[in-house]
C-alpha cells in the first residue's frame, strides 16, 4: 500500500485505507453503437475520498463505474489502482479487491446474512475463525445486531437492512475501494437518509476510496467530497467539490442539472454540529409542571424539553401545554422533532417543517440532548456557505475527456 | 358384471402370488432403470441448459427440441436404437434418458434464465468467477424449478420405461409384452394389469422420494 497517505488538511489524523483510482483515456463502445457510451474519460479519484458520479439517465455513469472493477471491459484506456495498472490483470482477482454494492444490495437469497458476508473472505482463503470474527465485526459496523441477524435469510430482512448487509459484504475483505451503483435508490426516503448518515459515519471510520453513482443531486452533495457531473457520453461537465459546484456551476448544463434552489441544497453541505445551537430549559418526568413553567418564563423560552434519565429527549411541551399539567408526563411524544448532530442542515430543516416550533432538538452522543437548532440559524448558514464556497480550492483532482478541446487541468 | 370382477380379482390374486418373485424383481429393475436414467438426464439437462440459457436464440432452439422430442413415439425411437446399440440395457437407458432430459432441460432453462440479474451481477461484482457464480449462485437459486422438472420427468418416463422390454431390457414392460403376445390367453390381462399397477405404485414411490430430496437439497432461504 505504497499510496497510503495520512489524511488531508481537514485536521483529521485518521489513516486513509483507500487507494487512489485513475482512469486514463477510458472509452467504452458497445457493439452496434455509433457513439461511445463513455468517451475518453480521464478521471483521478483521490485516495480516501468519496466521489459522486451524477448526470442525466444514460449518460454513462454505470458504465464508467463498472469499468473501474472491469465488470465492463474498457474498449480503450488504462485503469490504475494505487500504483498498479489493473487494465489487464485477471478481472475476478481485481474484483475481490474492490467492494461492490448495487441497488437493493443484490444479496444471495439462498444464503444467510453471515454466508453472504463470508463469500469474499472465503474465496481469499481465510480460516473459519477469522471469517466468523470478521462477520460479527462487520454486522456491528453496519449497526445490525450480530446475534439477531447473522443467521437470517435476506427475505427476512427489510430493504434497508438488506442494503446494510450488502455494504457489509462489500467491505468484508477490507478492500481499499468501494463502488456503489445507486445504492440507496430502492429504499424509502427516511431509510435512505439513515443509510446515508450511516455511510458517512462508516467512511469517517474507514476512509476508503468510494465511488457512488446517483441520480439524486442532493445525495451527491450530502455524501460527496467531490462530484463529477457528466453529460451524454460521460463527458465531464464539471468535477469539483459540492460547495463549488453549487456556488459556481461551470455552465448552463450543470446549472440546470443542479436545478433551482441551489441555496437550499447547500444545506446538505453543513452538519448540525457545525452551527451554533440554542440552549433550552429541560425537565424530567415527574417534575412539577409549574416549576418548569416558571423556569421557562424566566429564561424567556416558549418550550420546555423533557428528557429521560439518560438525557434523551422525550417531548417538547409549550408553555401553554405546561399550564394545563400538574407534573411533567413520562410519555414520549413521537412527533417531537429530533435530529442527530451529524445530520445535515437539510435534514434538520425537513424535521423543522413538521414541527410547530420552527426548530428541532439536537441529540449528540448516545442520543443525549445537546441543544436546539432554529430556522434562523439555518438561514444564516446558507449565506455563510455561499460566501465560503467562492474561495478557490487548490489541488483539485483531474477530470477531462480526450476529445474536449478545452480540457480542464487540476488548477482550472 | 360382478361375476367377472370377482373372476378377475381371483385370477389377479393367483397371478400375483404365483409370480411374486418375478414381479418384485421386475419392479426393482424398473425403478432402477428410471432412477439412474433420471440422474443422467438431470446432469445432461442442466448441462445443456447451462450452455444455452444466456442466449435467447439457443434457448428458443432448446425449447423447440423439447416440444418436438416429446411428440416422437417411444416405440419408434427404441426401434431405431436397435440397429446401432443392439438389445439389452443400453438402448433402454438411451431412450429413457432422451425423454427424461426434455422436461428437465426446459425447466432448467426457465429456472436459470429467471435468476435475478442483480444477484448475478453482484456475484460477479465481488469477484466470483463465471463458473463459481453458476455453481454457487445460479444453480442453487434455480434448483427448485429444475427439481420440479425432474419430478415431471420421473412421472413421465416411468411409463415410457416399459418399452425397454421391446429390446429385452429390464423392468415391468416384460409383463406387458407377455400379456400382449398372448392376448386372450390365460393370465394375459392379469399380466398387463399387474405391470400397470406396478408402474403407478413405483411412480408414487419415486415422486415421494424426489419430494424428500427436494426438501433436503433446497436451500432454506428460497423454500416457499
Ligand atoms: N450492455 C449494453 N449494451 C449496449 N448498450 C449499452 C449497454 N449498457 C449501457 N448501454 C448504453 O450506454 C449508455 C450509457 O449507459 P449507462 O448504463 O452507463 O448509463 P447511466 O448513466 O448509468 O444511466 P442511468 O442513470 O439510467 O442508470 C446508454 O446509452 C445505454 O443505452
Ligand atoms: Mg446506471
Q: What percent of chain A has pLDDT over 70?
A: 89
Residue A406: the pLDDT is 47
A97 domain residue, yes or no: yes
Instruction: Give the residue whose CA is nearest to atom 22 of ligand 1.
Output: A62
Q: Do A106 and B127 touch (CB under 8 A)?
A: no
Q: What is the mean pLDDT of chain A?
A: 86
Ligand 1 nearest atom to the CA of residue A64, by list position = 18
Asked if pLDDT for residue A13 goes beyond 70, the answer is no
Residue A264: the pLDDT is 67
Q: Where are the domains of chain B?
A: 17-222
Residue A364: the pLDDT is 81
CB-nearest to A95 from B125, B141, B220 is: B125
Contact by Cβ (8 Å): A372, A359: yes
pTM: 0.77
DSSP state of A34: S
Looking at the fold, whether A61 and A183 belong to one and the same domain comes out as yes
Smallest-distance ligand from the CA of A53: 1
CA dist., res. B68 & res. B75, Å (int): 16
B141 chain-A contacts, CB cut-off 8 A: 108-110
Q: What is the mean pLDDT of chain B?
A: 89
Tens of pLDDT, residues B187-218: 788 888 989 999 999 999 999 999 999 999 98
Tens of pLDDT, residues A122-152: 999 999 999 999 999 999 988 899 999 999 9
Taking the Cβ of residue A71 and every Cβ of chain B, the question of whether any pair is shorter than 8 Å is answered with yes
Looking at the fold, whether A212 and A283 belong to one and the same domain comes out as no
Looking at the fold, whether A312 and A256 belong to one and the same domain comes out as no
Q: Do A120 and B126 touch (CB under 8 A)?
A: yes
Phi, psi (degrees; rounded to nearest 5) at A78: -120, 150
Number of domains in chain A: 2
A119 chain-B contacts, CB cut-off 8 A: 126, 128
Looking at the fold, whether A154 and A297 belong to one and the same domain comes out as no
How far is CA A266 from its chain centroid?
15
A69 chain-B contacts, CB cut-off 8 A: 125
List, in order, residues 6 or more apart from A114 with CB less than 8 Å away: A132, A135, A150, A151
Q: What percent of chain A has pLDDT over 90?
A: 50
Residue A92: the pLDDT is 94
Residue A409: the pLDDT is 42
Residue A395: the pLDDT is 62
3-state SS class at A110? coil
List, in order, residues 6 or more apart from B118 with CB less than 8 Å away: A102, A103, A104, A106
How far is CA B149 from its chain centroid?
9
Domain range holding A296? 273-379
Instruction: Give the model's confidence band at A392: pLDDT under 50 very low, under 70 low, under 90 confident, else very high.
Output: very low
Looking at the fold, whether A319 and A181 belong to one and the same domain comes out as no
Query: Which of A399, A57, A407 lies closest to A232, judged by CA?
Result: A57
**Residue A211: in which H helix or E strand, if any?**
strand A209-213
Q: Which of residues 141-160 of B touch A (CB under 8 A)?
A: 141
A375 domain residue, yes or no: yes
A92 domain residue, yes or no: yes
Superfamily name and number for B17-222: MetI-like (1.10.3720.10)
Q: Do A153 and B220 touch (CB under 8 A)?
A: yes
Instruction: Give the model's confidence band at B7: pLDDT under 50 very low, under 70 low, under 90 confident, else very high.
Output: low
Residue B9: the pLDDT is 59
**Residue A372: in which H helix or E strand, if any?**
strand A369-374
Question: Picking from A237-246, B82-91, B113-122, B178-187, which range would have the lowest pLDDT averaged per residue?
Answer: B178-187
CB-nearest to B127 from A96, A102, A153 is: A96
CA dist., res. B139 & res. A297, Å (int): 70
Instruction: Give the model's confidence band at A349: pLDDT under 50 very low, under 70 low, under 90 confident, else very high.
Output: confident
A392 domain residue, yes or no: no
Instruction: Give the model's confidence band at A397: pLDDT under 50 very low, under 70 low, under 90 confident, else very high.
Output: confident
CATH number, position A87: 3.40.50.300
- Please tell me the number of Cα atoms within 13 Å of B202 on its side-chain side: 30
A3 domain residue, yes or no: no
3-state SS class at A79? strand
Which of A108, A114, A156 to mutate to probe the B interface, most B CBs <10 Å?
Answer: A108
CATH number, position A361: 3.10.580.10
Instruction: Give the residue whose CA is nearest to atom 18 of ligand 1.
Output: A60
Which of A91, A109, A153 to mutate to probe the B interface, most B CBs <10 Å?
Answer: A109
Q: Count how many residues are written for chain B.
A: 224
Looking at the fold, whether A257 and A285 belong to one and the same domain comes out as no
Looking at the fold, whether A252 and A288 belong to one and the same domain comes out as no
CA dist., res. B109 & res. B149, Å (int): 10
Looking at the fold, whether A186 and A44 belong to one and the same domain comes out as yes
Task: Give me the helix-helix angle, B20-52 and B89-113, nearest 10°.
Answer: 40
Task: Let me know the angle formed at the C-alpha of B117 by B112 and B122, rounded to the nearest 5 degrees.
Answer: 115
**Alpha carbon distances (Å) from B153 to A137, B64, B93, B147, B218:** 47, 17, 14, 10, 18
Instruction: Give the model's confidence band at A401: pLDDT under 50 very low, under 70 low, under 90 confident, else very high.
Output: confident
Tell me which of A261, A291, A323 is where a domain ends.
A261
Asked if pLDDT for residue A263 goes beyond 70, the answer is no
A410 domain residue, yes or no: no
Asked if pLDDT for residue A304 goes beyond 60, the answer is yes
Residue A394: the pLDDT is 52
A109 chain-B contacts, CB cut-off 8 A: 119, 141, 221-222
A385 domain residue, yes or no: no
List, in order, residues 6 or more apart from A125 with CB less than 8 Å away: none
A217 domain residue, yes or no: yes
Amino acid at each position: 500500500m505504497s499510496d497510503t497517505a495520512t489524511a488531508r488538511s481537514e485536521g483529521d489524523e485518521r489513516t486513509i485505507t483507500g487507494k487512489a483510482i485513475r482512469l486514463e483515456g477510458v472509452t467504452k463502445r458497445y457493439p452496434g453503437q455509433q457513439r461511445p457510451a463513455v468517451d475518453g474519460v480521464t478521471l483521478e479519484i483521490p485516495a480516501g475520498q468519496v466521489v459522486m458520479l451524477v448526470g442525466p439517465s444514460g449518460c454513462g455513469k454505470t458504465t464508467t463505474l463498472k469499468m473501474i472493477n472491469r465488470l465492463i471491459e474498457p474498449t480503450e484506456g488504462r485503469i490504475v489502482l494505487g500504483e498498479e495498472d489493473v487494465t489487464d490483470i485477471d478481472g475476478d482477482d481485481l474484483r475481490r479487491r474492490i467492494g461492490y454494492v448495487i441497488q437493493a444490495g443484490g444479496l444471495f437469497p439462498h444464503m444467510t446474512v453471515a454466508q453472504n458476508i463470508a463469500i469474499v473472505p472465503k474465496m481469499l482463503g481465510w480460516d473459519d475463525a477469522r471469517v466468523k470474527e470478521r462477520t460479527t465485526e462487520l454486522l456491528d459496523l453496519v449497526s445490525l445486531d450480530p446475534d439477531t441477524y447473522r443467521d437470517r435469510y435476506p427475505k427476512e430482512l427489510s430493504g434497508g437492512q438488506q442494503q446494510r448487509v450488502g455494504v457489509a459484504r462489500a467491505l468484508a475483505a477490507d478492500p481499499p475501494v468501494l463502488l456503489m451503483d445507486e445504492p440507496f435508490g430502492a429504499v424509502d426516503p427516511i431509510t435512505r437518509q439513515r443509510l446515508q448518515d450511516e455511510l458517512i459515519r462508516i467512511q469517517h471510520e474507514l476512509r476508503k476510496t468510494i465511488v457512488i453513482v446517483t441520480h439524486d443531486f442532493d445525495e451527491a452533495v450530502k455524501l460527496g467530497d467531490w462530484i463529477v457531473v457528466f453529460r451524454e457520453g460521460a463527458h465531464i461537465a464539471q468535477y469539483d467539490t459540492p460547495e463549488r459546484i453549487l456556488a459556481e456551476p461551470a455552465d448552463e448544463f450543470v446549472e440546470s442539472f443542479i436545478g433551482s434552489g441551489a441555496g437550499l441544497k447547500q444545506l446538505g453541505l453543513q452538519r448540525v454540529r457545525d452551527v451554533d445551537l440554542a440552549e433550552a430549559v429541560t425537565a424530567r418526568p415527574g417534575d412539577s409542571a409549574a416549576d418548569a413553567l416558571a423556569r421557562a418564563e424566566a429564561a424567556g423560552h416558549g418550550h420546555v424539553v423533557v428528557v429521560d434519565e439518560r438525557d434523551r429527549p422525550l417531548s417538547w411541551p409549550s408553555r401553554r401545554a405546561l399550564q394545563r399539567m400538574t407534573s411533567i408526563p413520562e410519555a414520549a411524544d413521537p412527533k417531537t422533532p429530533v435530529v442527530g448532530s451529524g445530520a445535515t442542515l437539510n435534514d434538520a430543516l425537513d424535521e423543522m417543517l413538521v414541527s410547530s416550533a420552527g426548530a428541532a432538538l439536537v441529540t449528540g452522543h448516545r442520543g443525549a440532548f445537546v441543544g436546539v437548532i432554529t430556522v434562523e440559524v439555518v438561514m444564516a448558514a446558507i449565506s455563510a456557505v455561499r460566501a465560503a464556497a467562492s474561495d478557490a480550492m487548490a489541488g483539485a483532482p483531474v477530470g477531462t475527456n480526450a476529445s474536449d478541446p478545452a480540457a480542464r487541468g487540476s488548477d482550472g | 358384471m360382478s361375476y367377472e370382477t370377482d373372476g378377475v380379482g381371483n385370477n389377479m390374486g393367483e397371478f400375483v402370488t404365483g409370480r411374486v418373485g418375478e414381479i418384485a424383481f421386475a419392479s426393482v429393475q424398473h425403478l432402477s432403470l428410471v432412477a439412474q436414467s433420471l440422474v443422467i438426464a438431470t446432469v445432461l439437462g442442466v448441462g445443456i441448459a447451462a450452455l444455452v440459457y444466456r442466449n435467447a436464440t439457443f434457448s428458443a432452439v432448446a425449447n423447440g427440441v423439447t416440444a418436438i422430442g416429446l411428440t416422437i413415439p417411444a416405440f419408434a425411437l427404441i426401434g431405431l436404437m436397435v440397429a446401432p446399440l443392439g438389445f439389452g440395457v443400453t438402448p433402454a437407458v438411451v431412450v429413457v434418458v432422451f425423454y427424461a432430459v426434455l422436461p428437465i432441460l426446459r425447466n432448467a432453462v426457465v429456472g436459470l434464465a429467471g435468476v435475478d440479474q442483480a444477484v448475478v451481477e453482484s456475484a460477479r461484482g465481488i469477484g466470483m468467477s463465471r463458473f463459481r457464480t453458476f455453481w454457487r449462485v445460479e444453480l442453487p437459486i434455480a434448483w427448485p424449478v429444475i427439481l420440479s422438472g425432474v419430478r415431471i420427468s420421473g412421472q413421465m418416463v416411468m411409463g415410457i420405461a416399459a418399452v425397454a422390454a421391446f429390446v429385452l431390457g429390464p423392468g415391468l414392460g416384460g409383463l406387458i409384452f407377455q400379456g400382449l403376445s398372448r392376448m386372450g390367453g390365460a393370465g394375459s390381462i392379469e399380466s398387463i394389469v399387474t405391470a400397470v399397477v406396478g408402474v403407478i405404485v413405483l411412480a408414487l414411490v419415486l415422486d415421494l422420494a424426489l419430494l424428500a430430496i427436494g426438501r433436503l437439497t433446497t436451500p432454506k432461504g428460497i423454500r416457499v
